[in-house]
Structure 1
Amino acid sequence: MFSKHHTHGRSDSFNARYRAGKSTGRSMKRSFQDHLGDSRRTERETRPEGVPNARTLTSPVITICVGPEKRLFAAHEEILCMSPVFADVCRGQFFESPDTHSKTISLPEEQPEVFSCVLEYLYKGDYYPRLLHNRRRNTWELENEANDMDVDGTEKGDATIVDQATGNVILKDTAVYCAAERYSLSGLKRLALRKQGLQSGIQCSTILASARYAYAHTPDTDSKLRAHYLALIIRCRSTFKRSGTMQMEMEQGGKLFFDLFVAMCNYIDDLTDACKSPRSA
């Protein structure tokens, strides 16, 4: 029911959307939830995501069966229906059936670790590790940021998950972003993208596997997550140039690397134009 996005062809606006290094985020001085409230009016829900009220917490409980191992989750119906996708499913499955024991949704292709983050966001407006605002520095940081790396310098388990379809290690925030795309939760997409931008010390193989995952689970019209990976690889090009994993991935090809080639050409054009333009007195 919840199919992946499989898109083909190149968008005419590709050059405009994937000009590397030109999509910097504006710093926020309010809480992340306050910031999201301004744009949520275009979504289906009539109140902010992740802010339960008394009526919501007394609504019927729905069982969600997730993944091939059929791990069970439970959620209040109105919490789950803050996603337009789940709202449509609930209407189709439940409203015409008097059997209250049949309120079960099956998500056999979803990963339990990812759905757990989605559910935590719907209830709390965030998922672990939380995004915190450092008032003194006026910056955003992840909860327990100082402990995000293992002692050997590799990424900590909280930052990554194993993609059950391929067995590759990918960034958890990327998987959450793609799940938010499937469930039409634009606020969660923005949160996951901001969190991912705060990750550091990620191995090349993890970045490349995550980029491929992003391309496989987002439409060509998505210029946020894809552009994030293109710009990240360009910024870290000296490291990727020495990476055997990068060489192997390049030889396999795919749309990711065509987009990367165009983004790098745009980046070089920008540098060339900057060098040619006269300096202001």
Structure 2
Amino acid sequence: MSDPEVVVAEDDGMELEDLEVTEAAADQDDPSGLEDIEPTIAERVTFLDYLKSPIVELVIGQGDTATTLSAHQALLTQSPYFENAVQHFSGSSARRIDLPTDDVAAAASVLEWLYKADYFPILSGNALEYDPTVPSDDNEGVALLRHARVYTLAQRFGLPALAGLAHKKIHLTNSTAKGEIAYARFVYKETSPDDENIRKPVAAFWASRSFVLRHEAEQEFKRMCLEFPQFGFDVLSRVLDEQEKRSQRQEASQSGAGASGRKRQRMSGI
């Protein structure tokens, strides 16, 4: 038997190196399932980045009593209110925001929170640090009004976390009956009628303390009801709701004991 003839194919022009490159490209085109293993990590904004941002002036009040506070723009723009104001700055104009009707101490507390995530008096657990500026008999509601003003500013500036902190501090603040009336007057004057988050606790507080009204702040309560009828109605509604609940519990208890339910008294004809 003769040896088989070996046929050598003609060179098609593709070198070995070209073949390897083509195979590598094919491997890159085919999904391997490993593309999404490494998550995309968002760039971290550091406190230094905030401090590098331009300074913005806040002018609180007006005229000779105006006070200018300064803050870094990147911190301010956490608030939608300030972010919108900053967008209206032009290259040549002053970086200034006017707040002519706001309280300077409350505005300072807002800035303190933006920098420190808290404001004086600092919250520690379920207690507030001692505040030497508050009188022992706080008949003016100094402490309550401080947090109430911060709350209203936080609501306006679009800072719900700060509003929640101020609301918590309100409930941890001690005051007198007259101080509570001063606080109630501010709430019903400065907050929206739809803001039940802060109004309902005020009405509930006074509805559950009728004895205080008679003995400690009757005249102040009367003036409050005449000035803000909605406050008087809210308190009365709470009192009547509680009386109705007590009556229902009493009737249910009597019914369970076998006693006949008390009928509602008929109105006599006229």
Q: TM-score, normalised by structure 1?
A: 0.67
* Cα separation, partners in 2 of 1:110 and 1:56, compared to 1, 3 Å: same
SS at match of 1:263: helix
1:269 to 222, 230, 244: 244
Considering Cα pairs closer than 8 Å and 6+ residues apart, tell me whether 1 or 2 has the greater RCO: 1
Moved more, 69-78 or 266-275: 266-275
The answer (yes or no) to whether the contact 2:207–2:236 under 8 Å persists in 1 is no
- Matched-pair contact (CA < 8 Å) for 2:139–2:177: no
Match of 1:182 in 2: 156
**In structure 2, how many angstroms separate the alpha carbons of the residues matched to 1:199 and 1:223?**
20
Q: Give 5+ residue unaligned stretches, structure 2.
A: 1-41, 257-270
Q: Which has the higher helix share?
A: 2
Verify: 1:65 aligned to 2:47, yes or no.
no
Does 1:171 pair with 2:145? Answer: yes
Distance in 1 between residues matched to 2:46 and 2:193, nearest whole Å? 34
Q: CA deviation at 1:149?
A: 6.2
Larger radius of gyration: 2
| Structure 2 residue identity aligned to 1:160 | V
- Give the aligned partner of residue 204 of structure 1: 177
Residues 134 and 142, structure 2, Cα contact 8 Å, conserved in 1: no
Aligned length: 209
Question: Could you tell me how far 1:263 is from its partner in structure 2?
Answer: 1.9
The 5 A counterparts of 1:116-155 are 116-133=108-125, 140-144=126-130, 150=135, 153-155=136-138
Residues of 1 paired with 2:200 and 2:225: CA distance?
18
Amino acid at match of 1:207: E
The separation in 2 between residues aligned to 1:250 and 1:144, in whole angstroms, is 33
Conserved? CA contact 1:149–1:156, under 8 Å: no
Task: Render the CA deviation track for 1:145-172: whole Å, top value 9, x for unaligned.
Answer: 7x6864xx41299x717xxxxxxxx621
Q: 1:56 deviation in Å?
A: 1.1
Q: Give the distance between the partners of 1:65 and 1:53, measured in 2 at CA.
A: 24
Q: Give the Cα separation in 2 of the matches to 1:124 and 1:223.
A: 28
**Partner of residue 261, structure 2:** none
For the residue of structure 2 that corresponds to 1:175, the secondary structure is helix
Q: d(CA) in 2 for partners of 1:269 and 1:245?
A: 27
Q: 2:193 aligns with which of 209, 220, 238?
A: 220
Separation (CA, whole Å) in 2 of partners of 1:277 and 1:173: 43
CA distance in 2, matches of 1:121, 1:276: 51
| Identity percentage of aligned residues | 24
CA distance in 1 between counterparts of 2:161 and 2:54 reads 25
Tell me by how many angstroms 1:247 deviates: 2.4
Kindly provide the CA deviation profile for residues 30-80 of structure 1, in whole angstroms up to 9, marking residues without a partner as x.
Answer: xxxxxxxxxxxxxxxx9xxxx972211110000000013210100000111
State the TM-score, normalized to the length of structure 2. 0.69
**2:166 corresponding residue in structure 1:** 192
Q: RMSD value over aligned CA atoms?
A: 2.7
